[in-house]
Structure 1
C-alpha cells in the first residue's frame, strides 16, 4: 500500500506546493498530469504481468523461470517507457484543441516535457517493483518510494519557490523534482535487491539482449490486457478532468483536488490488489484453489473495511480537506479560491460514495490477474467505464445540467457496474476450479 501511495504522493506534493502559486498553475499541473496518468496507467498495467508469473515460479521453486520472467519483463518495460515518452511528445498539440483555458495550456507544456521523460525511469522501476512483489519482498519498493518522495519534496521546495539562491522555476521546478527523484528511485531499488540473498541472483548478471520468443509472448499476452484495463479506468478519470476543464479553471482545479485525494485512498486498495495478485499467484502455483478463494475473500473484506473508513473521513472532513490545496490568505484570488473549495467539498461527498465500489473492483481485478485471467475482465472494464459510465459523465456534466457533480455521478455508476461484474467473474471462475480439482 505504501509503495503504491508513493506514486500518487508525488503528485499530491506537487499539487499542494503548486497550489500556492494560484488556480491557473494548479489547473496546468492537473492538465499535464492527465496526459501522464494515461501513459503511466499503460506502463504500470503492463508491468503487473510480471508479478503473478514470478509468484508462481517462486512457489514452484523454479529459479530459471523466475529470472527469465524478470529479464524479459524488464526489457519490455524499458521499451514501453521509451515508446510512451515519444507518444507524449507527439500528443502535446492536442492540448490546444481540447477547449482548455489558454493560460493553463501555456503553463502545462514545459511541465509536461520533463515529466514525460520521467516515465522512462518510472516504468523501469515498475518492472523491478512487480518482480520484487512477486517474490513477496514488498518492503524494498516501499523504501525506494519513500526516499524518492523525500527527495521530491526537497527539490520542489528549492526550485518552485527559488530558495537557497536557486532560480524560481514555478511549476517547471516541480517537474525537475519528479524527474530526478524517479531516477534515484530505480537506482536505489536495484541496490537494495542486489544486496539480498533471495533476489541478488535475479537482478545481477542480466543478459539484457539475449531474449526468447516464448516469455515475451507470455508476458505480452498477460501484460497488454492488464494495461488496457488500467487504461480504461484511468481514461475515464482523465476524461473527467478534461470535461471539467470545459467548465472553467476553477471547476478544473476543484476536480483535481477531489481526484488527488480519492486517488490516494484508491492506492490503498491497489496495494491490496497487489497482495491479492501475489497470494492468488502463489496458490495457483500450489494448485490449492480452496485456499486461493478463502485468501481472496479475506482481502475483499479488508478492502471493504478500509473503503468504509475513507468514505467516513471524506464525509466528515469534506469542507476542510480542500483548503490544504489553496492559499486562503491570498486576497487577489480570494473569490476564485472560495469557489474552488466549495466545488471540491461537494465532489468529496461523491468520492465518499465510490470509495467502496472502486476498492472492490480493483481488488477483484488483482485476484483475477493472479489467476492469469485477463481477457474477459478487460472487456468488463471497457463496457463499465466507456459504454455505461462516460456517456453519463458527458450528459450530466454539462454546465446547464449538474456540472462537476454530474461528471462524478457518471464515475460512480461506471465503477459500481465494474465492481459487480468482476466480483461475479471471480466467484464463477474459482467455483469452477474448485469443482474441477475435487472430482
Structure 2
C-alpha cells in the first residue's frame, strides 16, 4: 500500500497520514464545536434545574432520557444522509466534477432524509405526549413522572427541527464546509441561556420552560442554517428544499436501508443510558440527580470523539465514493487515533477532578446537595475509566458508516449494551452491593465490549482488499 502511494503521488506514505490528520482535524473541529454547543444547551438546563431543586433536576433527567430515546429513530435516519451525501460528492470528484448528476444525488439524499425523519417521529410524539403514563409504567415516582411530562410536552415539538439540522449539518460536512453549522449552534447557545433562565425562573414555567427553550433553540438552528445555505452562492445550486413535498421512493428506501440500523444502534445506546437513569430512580431522587451530573459531564466529553467520528464518516465516504480504498482506510485509522488521544486525556481529568466537577451543577445551600455531590463524584470516577472505550466505539462507528456498514455495528450494540453491560450493571447494583455505582460499572463494561468489536470490524474492512470490496 505504501509503495503504491509513493508511486502514484511521489510523496512518502507518512506525508499522506499527516495530510489526512490535518484534514480530519480541520473538518472535525467545527463539527466538535457544534456538538459541544448542542451539549451546552443540555448542560445549561441541567444546571438551571439543579438550582430549582433536586426534584426538578431528577424530573428533567428522566424527561431528557425518554426524549432522546424516542428521538433516536429520527436522529439515526438524519445521520444516514451524511454517508450518502459524502459518497455522492466523492463520485463527483472521481468524474472530475463533470455533469450535475452528483449534485442531484446529494439533493435527493438530503430530501429523502428529511422525509424519513418526518415519518418516524410521529409515533415518538404520541409517546412523549403521554410521558407521565410511560414513566409510571416503568416504575418512576408519580410526582417525578408528572414533572417530566411537562418537559417532554414542550420539548417534543423541537425534535423535527433538530433532526433537520442534523441532515443539513451532514450536507455541510460532505461539502467540507461545516463552519456555518458551528456558528449557528454557538449563537443559539449564547441566546438560549437568558431565554431558558427567563422561562424557568421569572416566567415561573419551571421544567416546562426548560423544554420550551430547547424547542425554540432547535427551531432557530434549523432556520438559521437554511438561510445561510440559501445565501451561499455555491450551496444555492443544490436547491436542497426544491420540490421537497415530492417523495423520492428509491432514495427513501436507501435512507431507510442505511439509516434504520444506525437508528437502532443509537436507540440501543441511548436506551441503555435511559434504562440506567430509570434504574437510578429505584434508589431515590438523589441517585437520579447524581446520575444527571455524571451523564451530562460524560456526554460533554463524548461530543469530541463523536464529532471526530462524524468527520470520519465524511472523509471515509468521500474516499469511498471516489473508489480510493487506501485513502478510506487511512481516514478511518487517523480518526480513531485522534479520538483515542482526546479521551485518554479526559479520563485523567474526570478521575482527578470529580468532586469539583460535581459541585458545578449544585447549589451548596440546597437541601440534599452534599449527598448528590458525593455520589455524583463517585459516578464521575467510574465514567473516567470508560472514556477510552466510549471514544473508540463512536469513532469506529463513524468510519464504518462512511462505507455504509451499519447493520453489523447495530448487532454489536445489542450484544454489548443490552446482552452484557446492562444485565451486569443491574446485577452489581442489586446483588453486588454497589447500588447506583454498580449500574455505571455495567455501562463501562458494555462500552468496552462494543469498542473492541467495532475496532475489530474496522480493522478487517480497512484492509485494502476488503475495503475495496466494501466500497
Match of 1:417 among 421, 433, 449: 449
Corresponding residue number in structure 1 for 2:29: none
Compared CA separation, residues 144 and 424, structure 1 to 2 (3 A): same
Q: How far off is 1:398 after superposition?
A: 2.1
User: 1:248 deviation in Å?
Assistant: 0.4
Q: Which residue of 2 aligns with 1:157?
A: 197
CA–CA distance in structure 2, aligned partners of residues 413 and 260 of structure 1: 19
Deviations 1:73-113 (A, max 9, x none): 12222333334222322454121222223332222221211
- State the match for 1:359 in structure 2: 391
Where does structure 2 lack aligned partners over 5 or more consecutive residues?
1-31, 93-101
CA–CA distance in structure 2, aligned partners of residues 344 and 7 of structure 1: 22
Cα deviation for residue 174 of structure 1 reads: 1.4
CA contact (8 A) 1:5 1:267 kept: yes
Structure 1 CA distance for aligned equivalents of residues 211 and 408 of structure 2: 38
- 1:37 matched residue in structure 2: 68
Q: How do residues 385-396 of structure 1 correspond to structure 2 at under 5 angstroms?
A: 385-396=417-428
Aligned CA-pair RMSD: 1.6
For 2:128 and 2:415, how far apart are their aligned partners in 1? 26
CA deviation vs aligned residue, 1:95-149 (integer Å, no higher than 9, x gap): 1222223332222221211012221211122222222222222111112211221
Task: Give the whole-Å Cα distance in 2 for the aligned partners of 1:252 and 1:65.
Answer: 46
Is the contact between residue 38 and residue 235 of structure 1 (CA under 8 Å) also seen in structure 2?
Answer: yes
1:378 to 410, 414, 425: 410
Question: Normalised by the size of structure 2, how large is the TM-score?
Answer: 0.88
Alignment of structure 1 residues 19-418 onto 2, 5 Å: 19-61=50-92, 62-162=102-202, 167-203=203-239, 206-330=242-366, 333=367, 336-398=368-430, 401-418=433-450
Which stretch shifts more, 251-260 or 43-52? 43-52
Structure 1 contact 140–192 (Cα < 8 Å) conserved: yes
Which secondary structure does the structure 2 equivalent of 1:325 belong to? Answer: coil
Q: Is 10-19 or 283-292 further displaced after alignment?
A: 283-292
Contact 2:132 2:148 (8 Å CA) reproduced? no
Question: Distance between the aligned counterparts of 1:436 and 1:299, measured in 2?
Answer: 19
Whole-angstrom CA distance in 1 between matches of 2:467 and 2:40: 43
Q: Is this contact kept in 2: 1:54–1:131, CA < 8 A?
A: yes
Q: Distance in 2 between matches of 1:30 and 1:318?
A: 20
Deviation at 1:204, TM superposition (A): 5.2
Match of 2:10?
none
Name the CA distance, whole Å, in 2 between partners of 1:315 and 1:399.
26
Give ranges in structure 1 of 5+ residues lacking alignment: none
TM-fit CA distance, 1:210: 2.3
Q: Check whether the contact 1:13–1:153 (CA below 8 A) recurs between aligned residues.
A: yes
Whole-Å separation in 2 of the counterparts to 1:245 and 1:303: 32
Given that 1:77 and 1:127 are in contact with CA atoms closer than 8 Å, whether structure 2 keeps it comes out as no
